[in-house]
Structure 1
């Protein structure tokens, strides 16, 4: 039986789709979770619109960094992913993309992001090295740490001090409040994510916050959400954001309650839905900061 090679256009389209799947292009929730806290910090650092240059650097940098992180994660987890229902079809695990190709893509994206950082200042460049290091380290944290979500929280918070150094060339005290708030928020939403894969992770011997917390998982998620919002409120107080701050907090708290409604029964689909909705909480707080600074008296 004679086989006919696929047309070049089909091969290119197939490969392009595999690369886009590798960086989760069809799942923007991941980079939005990273973007909103970073932009919030950028607006606070500048006490208003930070300018088009920094907005472009941090928006594109966030997308590139998250995409590179996906490459690193898929390479590190390729043997585990084949045993998890949700990840078995990922490009590296399924063989659509080789480890060498994924490494090349991840490296190229990292260099592009670094090129953007080079247009800022020396202190921000220094912070970017830590950002790369923690991004590479995170996939392996799941082998050793009972709460790898905390490591992810650090990785997803590095944009906050970088935003301040890019604007102010310093790391003021407010950064640590914002970082702690974002870290707890990350633990909350990534625990929801881990609740989806708990059965598979238990079989594989992986460590996640959902497994560590056990029957206290829902309570732990809610505690992280609540303390995160309180720390955010503490952090923004000096900026006198007025009613937008309180409206944003009220809307965010309502979303937290909705998350409890979704995850309280620990159903896979509802837990995954809760995770995917988290970027709206980040956007709500960002919008509160933008409106508060915009409407604040001169």
Structure 2
């Protein structure tokens, strides 16, 4: 199975019908795989906290006076482009750092670097190119947002090494992946407030939860190569941990909503998202890799529901 993935230019854990394999030339596939374009759930999970924060800020701004809807939608576009670019750069960086580990893990050894389809030098150049796109996007914001964006790079740099020194690398992923929860607010107001900071903490707990489910796919291989994770830490009893993590997520999102003064539609969306999070905990089978991946991907829908609720709330205020 693994050899077939390498021979066909595919990777073991990406959908074979993804647009990358239908629309892009075969020679581009390894770079698309480095950037995870064939697995859009990653940039979606990076983007949703940005969208939540931007919409939360827009709701708060609309309460204070006329809102520039053009600027709001421009910010959403920039956050989309930035999420795709920086997620791609981060994944490429992670693959460069984890080259040898990926060779030893069944799910990852078909990736471009361990399979030999991309050289380390080419991967580094590709990473720099994506990071430059992210920089161009960042420079479109105000000075506070720019400084915050630069500060996030510290967490991005640390994350690939976290699995070597702590059982909680998912926490470091949360610190990096949730940064958009403050960026959207800063882009609108040029400052921070309690609502985006609480939203950031909520997104960290959410990230630790969903990435723990993802990590159960690799638990046995991780143990063999000495990689640490919350999946290994929680062992056979992840439900109490996930209940706590997702419970904190919901409570803190609700608090952020209250602090920002959102309306009923946002809280209805939070209720729907809570049901999906509860469903993940209820049906989770940590020994079923396919199900773990499917439940992890469900969090893209969780993020979308929260955004749509906030967006509908905003639309009502602009009518």
User: Do they superpose with TM above 0.5?
Assistant: yes
Distance in structure 1 (CA, Å) of the matches to 2:121 and 2:232: 33
Name the residue aligned to 1:135: 156
1:256 equivalent to 2:277? Answer: yes
User: 2:190 maps to which residue?
Assistant: 169
The residue number in structure 1 matching 2:30 is 18
Q: Deviations over 1:89-147 (max 9, x none)?
A: 00011110011111111111111111111121211111122222221221111111110
Greater alpha carbon shift after TM alignment, 47-56 vs 248-257: 47-56
Task: Say whether 1:44 aligns with 2:51.
Answer: no
Question: Contact 2:213/2:286 (CA < 8 Å) preserved in 1?
Answer: no
The answer as to 2:248 corresponding to 1:227 is yes
**Structure 1: any 5+ residue segments left out of the alignment?**
1-11
Checking the alignment, whether the CA contact within 8 Å between 1:243 and 1:292 is kept in structure 2 is yes
Q: Deviations over 1:38-67 (max 9, x none)?
A: 111011112264533322221101110101
What SS class does the counterpart of residue 178 from structure 2 fall into? coil
Partner of 1:247: 268
Query: Once the 2 structures are TM-superposed, how far is the Cα of residue 297 of structure 1 from its aligned partner?
Result: 8.0
Give the aligned partner of residue 79 of structure 1: 100
Q: Does 1:204 align with 2:216?
A: no
What CA RMSD, in Å, does the superposition of the two structures yield over aligned residues? 1.7
Kept in 2, the 8 Å contact 1:240–1:292? The answer is no
Give a deviation string over 1:228-274, Cα, whole Å, max 9, x none: 01110111014443331232122112211221233145422211111
Q: Would you say the 8 A contact 1:67–1:109 is kept in 2?
A: yes
Moved over 4 A (4+): none
**Partner residue in 1 for 2:46:** 34
1:184 pairs with one of 205, 214, 221: 205
Instruction: Tell me how many residue pairs correspond in the alignment.
Output: 287
Aligned to 1:3: none
Task: Provide the C-alpha distance between the structure 1 equivalents of 2:173 and 2:286, rounded to a whole number of angstroms.
Answer: 25
Cα distance in 2 for residues equivalent to 1:165 and 1:122: 9
Compute the TM-score of the two structures, normalised by the length of structure 1. Answer: 0.91
1:115 is aligned, of 136, 157, 169, to 136
Q: Does 1:150 align with 2:171?
A: yes
Unaligned runs of 5+ residues in structure 2 are: 1-23, 63-68
Conserved? CA contact 1:239–1:293, under 8 Å: no
Distance 2:286 2:124 in 1: 39
- The 1:249/1:55 distance shift into structure 2, 3 A limit, reads closer
Change (3 A) 1:93 1:262: farther
**Structure 1 residues 174 and 239: CA distance shift in structure 2, 3 A:** closer
- SS at 1:92's partner residue? coil
Q: Which range moves more in the overlay, 244-253 or 111-120?
A: 244-253
Mark the CA change 1:265 to 1:63 in structure 2 (over 3 Å): closer, same or farther: closer
Is 1:288 aligned to 2:309, yes or no?
Answer: yes
Matching residue within 62, 78, 85 for 2:83: 62
Moved more, 137-146 or 46-55: 46-55
